Amino acid sequence: MRILSGIQPSGALHIGNYFGMMRPAIELQAKGEAFYFIADYHSMTSLFDAAERRKNTLDVALDFLACGLDPKRAVFFKQSDVPEVCELSWLLSTLTPMGLLQRAHSFKDKADKGIPVNHALFAYPVLMAADILIYDSNIVPVGQDQKQHVEMTRDIASKFNEQYGQTFVIPEPQIREAVAKVPGIDGEKMSKSYGNTIEIFGDEKALRKKIMAIKMDSRQPADPKPDADQNLAIQLLKVINAGTGQEFEEKLRAGGLGYGDLKKKLFEVYWEYFATARAKRAELAANPDYVNKVLGEGAMKARAKAMEVLKRARKASGLE
Ligand code: ADP
Ligand code: TRP
């Protein structure tokens, strides 16, 4: 079984990325052949600073390795080290209806907000389909917002198989419902592009301040709060530690727990959760050669598989 996922180097990774995608992906590395990559081609649709892309790419690599990605078990690489995906993307685009892409949230949301959209952003789901199909992937662990892209991949792969004969494996998205849409500090979906994130790795003081600044209502600590499950700090606490989240939800519901103390607890649980990863990250950051070696070896393995599947698609479609 091949498990595959990718993440864009478009900014500091946050706990939504971690619980929604990275942790499930890391857990799955023991259950099959895992391929995880840094989607640097995809980041080009919205990030136009070369130095920033280079820095973000190294940061994502450090974050993933620090959080437990094991290069002995998983193949870890940079998307652009396998340029074959661009060719496959072209082949797939010839069977992708315009209407399908016009319905993509990733493109529609930006266009609706008046953000200028480029062709690559429009074609984004086709490149993502190529990423998935070129490794014969069976399972794609992602957060809720990527579900539509995986469904499009299934559509495109089926069209190709119908047109040119059985070529691609049809993948399944794997979404953990409980953490499919982790809320940000404003209650909206946590996202790098909304400025509402709690980063996995960041400055202690700044993160404490961010968490303590989460807005609450004006009820007094002693007031019972029957809607405790709707409280944002409780929801976040539950994402990080279900047991503690439950315990504090009951305390809040009963009355007697102040919002300040609740947020303090949230910060402590969050900070403690990533303590080991934080130490590991500092170690790795001092050794960028090791990180580059891991990505280089990963690219070689990924590329071998990609060349095999691309050849199959070229033959099926009459290019060879
Ligand atoms: P962002 O919205 O911060 O730019 P990405 O689109 O780069 O995040 O997403 C990377 C991965 O993390 C994807 O699999 C995505 O589904 C997952 N993810 C992002 N935000 C969340 C969230 N708030 N809750 C759960 N998963 C998320
Ligand atoms: N679009 C994904 C995101 O923004 C990143 C990505 C690119 C991806 N290619 C992929 C995820 C293939 C899973 C599989 O998060």
Same domain, 231 and 292: no
Q: Write out the two tokens for 220.
A: 């007094």
Q: How far apart are CA 56 and CA 316, in angstroms?
A: 38
**Could you please report the per-residue DSSP string of 152-187?**
HHHHHHHHHHHHH-S--PPPEEE--GGGTT-B-TTS
- Domain CATH for 147: 3.40.50.620
Has residue 212 got a pLDDT over 90? yes
Q: 38-87, pLDDT tens digit by residue?
A: 999 999 998 999 999 999 999 999 999 999 999 999 999 999 999 999 99
Ligand 2 pocket mutation pick from 8, 46, 105 by most atoms within 8 angstroms of CB: 8
The number of the ligand nearest the C-alpha atom of 192 reads 1
Instruction: Mark whether 127 and 57 lie in a shared domain.
Output: yes
Does one domain contain both 126 and 22? yes
Q: Show Cβ contacts of residue 162 under 8 Å, excluding neighbours closer than 6 positions.
A: none
Task: Show the tokens assigned to 72.
Answer: 């002995």
The pTM is what? 0.95
Whole-number Å distance between alpha carbons of 172 and 200: 27
Number of folded domains in the chain? 2
Using pLDDT thresholds of 50, 70 and 90, give the confidence band for residue 285.
very high
Contact between residue 127 and residue 84 where contact means Cβ atoms under 8 Å apart: no
Strand order of the sheet with strand 2-7?
A: 74-78, 33-38, 2-7, 139-141, 172-174
The predicted pLDDT at position 177 comes to: 85
The answer to whether the CB of 291 is under 6 A from ligand 2 is no
How remote is the CA of residue 219 from the centroid of ligand 2, in Å?
Answer: 42
Judge whether residue 116 has pLDDT over 90. no
Among protein residues, the one whose CA lies closest to atom 18 of ligand 1: 17
Domain of 228, in residue numbers: 202-273
pLDDT given for residue 180 in this prediction: 81
251 part of the active site: no
Say what the pLDDT of residue 107 is: 86
- Mean pLDDT for 194-210 is 95
Q: Verify whether residue 31 is a known catalytic residue.
A: no
Kindly state the average pLDDT of the residues 244-259: 97
Same domain, 30 and 118: yes
Q: Are residues 237 and 145 in the same domain?
A: no
- Give me the catalytic one of 189, 225, 238, 305: 189
Q: Looking at residue 115, what is its pLDDT?
A: 86
* Residue entry with tokens 């960028």: 288
pLDDT of residue 113: 85
* Statement to judge: residues 46 and 145 lie in one domain: yes
Q: Which atom of ligand 2 is nearest to the CA of 137?
A: 14
Annotation says 192 is catalytic: yes
Regarding whether 298 and 256 lie in a shared domain, the answer is no
The confidence band for 217, taking pLDDT boundaries of 50, 70 and 90, is very high
Residue 308 pLDDT > 90: yes
